[in-house]
Structure 1
Amino acid sequence: MAHAVARDGETLRFRSRGAFGLARGFGALVPLVFTAVVFAWPLGVLVMRAFDDDDATTLSQSWSRTGALGLLGVTALQAAVSAVAALVVAAPIVWLMSRAKLPGTGLLRVIVTLPFVLPTVVVGVAFRAVFDGPLAFLGVEQGWTSIIAAHTFLNVAVVVRVVSAAWQRVDPRQVAAARALGASPTRAFLDVVAPRLLPAVAAAFALIFLFCSTSYGVVVILGGGTAHTLETEIYLQGIGYARLPDAVALSVLQIGVVLAALAVARLLGSARVPQSGTTSHAERPRGIGWIAVIAVLAWIGVWLVLPIATLVVRSLRPGGHWGLVGYRAMFDDTYGESAVASLRYSVTSAFLATAIAVVVGLLTAATLTRSGGLVARTGAVLAILPLGISAVTLGFGYTLALAELPYEVAASPLIVPCVQALIAIPVVVGVMVPALEQVPPRLRDAAATLGARGPRVFVTVDLRLTAKSLAAAAAFAFVMAIGEFGATTFLARANTTTLPVLIGSLMGRPGADNYAAAMAASVLLVAVSAVVVAAVEFAARTRTGDRRRKRC
């Protein structure tokens, strides 16, 4: 009897896996088809245009005419300086988040994470307000100094998340052993902790370099027309001067640089930090230790709170007088679509993009964790690749690709949500892969033994156990979609203008009312992002608390 039951269980499990294999094969095709159409197609058109003989120019000629190598050097230099600045600014914050046990840690995490998810155009507007307001005496309202400061603000969270996670995996007993052998606190840190943090620091540097080398909104808002990178020059040559061959040549160069940076980031990110199986424990500060904590909190206030606070104040006091002029100006449609109308479209478009990103990203994560077929891996790589490709390059590729289609297709309101989803999919994949990897296989086998088919196993076991992670992924996807600026700048039309694109347009228009409306609209996007990040942080803390109670 026992053998018969075992055979029946094995048969059910085999059938379940077979059924799931068919569904998994179909699920692997969805990311592959979607990214091939929405991502590979416009880039393929762009690359083909680069080698089109009808333009009677070569890549080297276009690079020489546009000063591409000089732009490449400037782009790489500012990205490297921004990455170093982010590491320096984040260093004390990493210490605080890793070693100090404080009340209100959740709020602190929200403050640290919020800048990273803000739209780049909003960050540019915020730093315009800072350097034109509290820090006006520095005389750096526009230019490379303000750009690097904004990039630092944007990417502190990358360093904090990556390096503090590595620090928390360092065995505190090793540090205690070094201290017992006579090492000073500094020597123990340099000999024990620092070597284990170096891979994480290098990975954070590579990621920030990648993000800053493809930065567009910050450079446009804070560059003052004098600071140029490959990103801004692609837009200028393609849209401003209508020199398509030169814009295409710069885009090809940008693709090569970004792919190289992405490869380095992936290589460094895959380096494993030595682990001992224990987790370090944060300690409550005592005595003089509170001085360091207060100093770091003040440091956070200057770098991460001041820009947001200044933006809020300037939105309520745009002309030196308190009032709601900026918020009332959001209803003004004198020069076209009002900010309120753009907000409505942005929310609708972001929700649609989130739905697409969640479906494609979840299928990608499932194929990555449950299969290793060629189709699955190809689709997964294509789905993650948009994280490193320049949004401006992608937008320019769409400009060329859509020009070959009928107007009814090119003007479809679905174009913008699909592109926004493409930018958000890597975020969903990054959240869901580790979540799905933690699902015990024995639970799937138990469900299969009880008669559940493959798709039902996935829904009742995998999705049930990772529901909170999926909600967090959807929330971050929504924030990424509603704040996308680079690609949608190329694609926005009269009825598909998103709020970030309108903010950039308002900042370029003369008049105090336009400036006030841009400030007010930026505050609204900050508020949306803050609510989402706070909700994700609260859910994460609730999930951690549930795990601790179960262990107890």
Structure 2
Amino acid sequence: MDRSVDEKRPSLTARARERRPLLLVVPAGLLLAAFLAYPLQGILRESFQRDGGIGLLVEDTYYLERGWFTLWQATVSAALTLLLAVPLAWLLACHAFPGKRTIEAVLMVPFVLPTIVVAVAFSALIGPSGVANDLLTRIPGIDEPPIRILNTVWAILLAHVFYNVAVAGRIIATGWRGLDSRVEESAAMLGAGPAARFFLVTLPALRNSLLAAASLVFLFCFTSFGVVLILGGPQFGTLETEIYRESLFLFRLPVAGALALAQLVVTFAAIVINARLQQATPQRTEARSTTPWDRKSAALGAAILALLLLLTAAPMAALVERSFHGGDGYTLRYYTMLDDNIRGQALFVAPIEAVRNSVVFAIATVAVALPIGTLAAIGSVRARSTLAEALVQLPLGVSSVTLGLGFLVTMDQPPLNLRESPALVVIAHSLIAVPFVTRTVSARLRSLDPRLRDAAAMLGAGPARTFFAVEAPLLKGAIGVAAVLSFATSMGEFGATLLIARPEYPTIPVAIFRYLGQPGALNYGQALAMSTVLMAVTGSTFFLAERLVRVRTGGVS
């Protein structure tokens, strides 16, 4: 009996030693428990314990219609996105061309832009006084703006395709690169043409990658907030915009909580489906070779690139142009007045104050999210715990508006009475940023040669010394990318901040939204100028992150 216990003891000790790194995940666990699990249980409590919650949601056809429209627009957005993402994936996976890495990075810029900037950019492009209508009305015989899709479902769909097509194309291209090109070559030898090979061989093999991209785009569009709020108008509200409306305007928190609960069910289902599809996608160690260009494929590739670059550049260029465009021609007035509160009201601080607030919140977010996310990455990878990694990623399954609602419901009483504190904004931003930090650092940790740790251990170095002397220098690039992503995430966060930010501490996205809601060309001009500044900051941080990745991996553009 004693001997059996003694025989088991080494294995138990070894197992405990393997699990010891999970202590590094504790700070992330505490953050999630206090500021994700606790607010979510508050939403559940509001939904089930008060009148007008789940019951009203089922009985009132108004909310059923909102739920149906949310599902419909997300599904159609995903389908339209795939129509452009598949040709992009074909270019990225099968062909080589000059500046490929740079063009790929440019096409990814819309995905990292804050959704409110995307909405303002499309307003500047296709609005009644936007660039497109301005150019068209200069044609003789056209006196009225011919493009009238603002505040329609088409504006929503177009904006969703704009900021999702590149990430969907990357996902599909990754799967495409892993396909065995010999199968296509065999089909060609049997007489199958390019179209037949694509539809009968390539497309079925890409099924999991296509569905993974579609499910991810569906998730993003299902929880889309800024685009729907600004481009769709009240007649095209989704669950996300309805949660905002019920919380801040109608003060019906039970209804808002029930809507948030329904949204959580769908988003977590989409996350589970996406994860399983990615796991089911076969991985090949050998990437397929690029296909030589011929005249037809070169013409087709040039047309696809031109269309995608136009879709990417037109809204952003229109935003910049309109921010300098005044009633009497081009002017710097909107930028020079960023330090003026033209409203003179407490709810409207000078735009430059919003810029300062955003920078302060972003720096604080990096200071919180970077160490917590890095420790969680090290702990989960060292302990080989997929459960710990999955738990840290949970905030990605909760929309920012739902997170803000949870804070409104629960953060107004001890021990977490933080509703009046600007620190609540930093906490919300950090919750959203930590998963990105963990993913970035985890990916780099897994790519390190484990023999480095073994060699350090053989030379007598303990775990801490091994990390700081051997691994930390190799992780600097990944940690730098994570810091940049955290900063950009905080700068662009809109949904949660709109619900919880104090009126005297607005961020740039919140200030843009407030100025857009006021009449007058000067208010609109200042919103355009702030949107341009925010676009420049987030775009620059993305390119910095891309540069850090290239330096780390030795890639070239």
Give the alignment's TM-score, normalised by structure 2: 0.89
Quick check: 36-45 or 135-144, which moved more? 135-144
Deviation at residue 291 of structure 1 after TM alignment: 1.7
SS in 1 for 2:280: coil
Q: 2:371 aligns with which of 352, 356, 359?
A: 359
Q: 1:45 aligns with which of 32, 42, 45?
A: 42
The corresponding residue for 2:8 is: none
Code of the residue aligned with 2:199 in structure 1: it is: L
Q: 1:127 aligns with which of 97, 122, 128?
A: 122
The corresponding residue for 1:331 is: 339
> Does residue 192 of structure 2 align to residue 180 of structure 1?
no
CA contact (8 A) 1:126 1:311 kept: yes
Listed as ranges, the matches of 1:223-238 within 5 Å are 223-238=232-247
Unaligned runs of 5+ in 1: 1-14, 548-552
CA contact (8 A) 2:86 2:172 kept: no
**Partner deviation per Cα, 1:135-178 (whole Å, 9 max, x = no partner):** 44231022211011111111112211101111112233333333
CA contact (8 A) 2:243 2:260 kept: yes
The corresponding residue for 1:316 is: 324
Code of the residue aligned with 1:26 in structure 2: it is: L
**Partner deviation per Cα, 1:106-143 (whole Å, 9 max, x = no partner):** 32122111111100011010111111224442310222
> Does residue 59 of structure 2 align to residue 64 of structure 1?
yes
CA contact (8 A) 1:199 1:273 kept: no
The corresponding residue for 1:307 is: 315
Listed as ranges, the matches of 1:84-483 within 5 Å are 84-132=79-127, 133-136=130-133, 137-273=146-282, 275=284, 277-283=285-291, 285-319=293-327, 321-333=329-341, 334-335=344-345, 336-372=348-384, 377=387, 379-405=388-414, 409-483=418-492
Distance 1:58 1:86, change over 3 A: closer
Code of the residue aligned with 1:366 in structure 2: it is: I
Distance in 1 (alpha carbons) for counterparts of 2:200 and 2:233: 46
Deviation at residue 190 of structure 1 after TM alignment: 3.3
SS in 1 for 2:401: helix
The corresponding residue for 2:6 is: none
Distance 1:461 1:180, change over 3 A: farther
Distance in 2 (alpha carbons) for counterparts of 1:318 and 1:284: 49
Code of the residue aligned with 1:339 in structure 2: it is: P
**Partner deviation per Cα, 1:369-424 (whole Å, 9 max, x = no partner):** 22146xx83x5333211112121111011011122248973322221111111111
Distance in 2 (alpha carbons) for counterparts of 1:73 and 1:408: 36
Deviation at residue 16 of structure 1 after TM alignment: 12
Runs of 4+, deviation exceeding 6 Å? 15-20
CA contact (8 A) 1:109 1:537 kept: no
Distance 1:396 1:58, change over 3 A: closer
Unaligned runs of 5+ in 2: 1-12, 134-145
Listed as ranges, the matches of 1:1-80 within 5 Å are 22=20, 24-52=21-49, 55-57=50-52, 59-65=54-60, 67-80=62-75
The corresponding residue for 1:3 is: none
Deviation at residue 227 of structure 1 after TM alignment: 1.2
Distance in 2 (alpha carbons) for counterparts of 1:463 and 1:191: 48
CA contact (8 A) 1:19 1:454 kept: no
CA contact (8 A) 1:21 1:454 kept: no
**Number of matched residues?**
527
Distance in 1 (alpha carbons) for counterparts of 2:458 and 2:327: 70
Distance 1:408 1:189, change over 3 A: closer
Distance in 1 (alpha carbons) for counterparts of 2:186 and 2:97: 26
CA contact (8 A) 2:88 2:304 kept: yes
The corresponding residue for 2:76 is: 81
Deviation at residue 343 of structure 1 after TM alignment: 0.8
Quick check: 455-464 or 321-330, which moved more? 455-464
Code of the residue aligned with 2:309 in structure 1: it is: G
Deviation at residue 467 of structure 1 after TM alignment: 2.3
Code of the residue aligned with 2:390 in structure 1: it is: V
Distance in 1 (alpha carbons) for counterparts of 2:114 and 2:368: 20
CA contact (8 A) 1:435 1:466 kept: yes
Tell which has more relative contact order, 1 or 2 (C-alpha 8 A, sep 6+): 1
Distance 1:342 1:164, change over 3 A: same
**Matched-pair identity in %:** 34
Code of the residue aligned with 1:355 in structure 2: it is: A
Distance in 1 (alpha carbons) for counterparts of 2:174 and 2:74: 24
Deviation at residue 29 of structure 1 after TM alignment: 1.1
CA contact (8 A) 1:354 1:478 kept: yes
Deviation at residue 356 of structure 1 after TM alignment: 2.0
Distance 1:452 1:129, change over 3 A: same
Code of the residue aligned with 1:280 in structure 2: it is: R
CA contact (8 A) 2:18 2:383 kept: no
Distance in 2 (alpha carbons) for counterparts of 1:66 and 1:234: 16
Code of the residue aligned with 1:359 in structure 2: it is: P
Distance in 2 (alpha carbons) for counterparts of 1:233 and 1:546: 45
Code of the residue aligned with 1:50 in structure 2: it is: S
Distance in 1 (alpha carbons) for counterparts of 2:33 and 2:109: 32
Give the alignment's TM-score, normalised by structure 1: 0.90
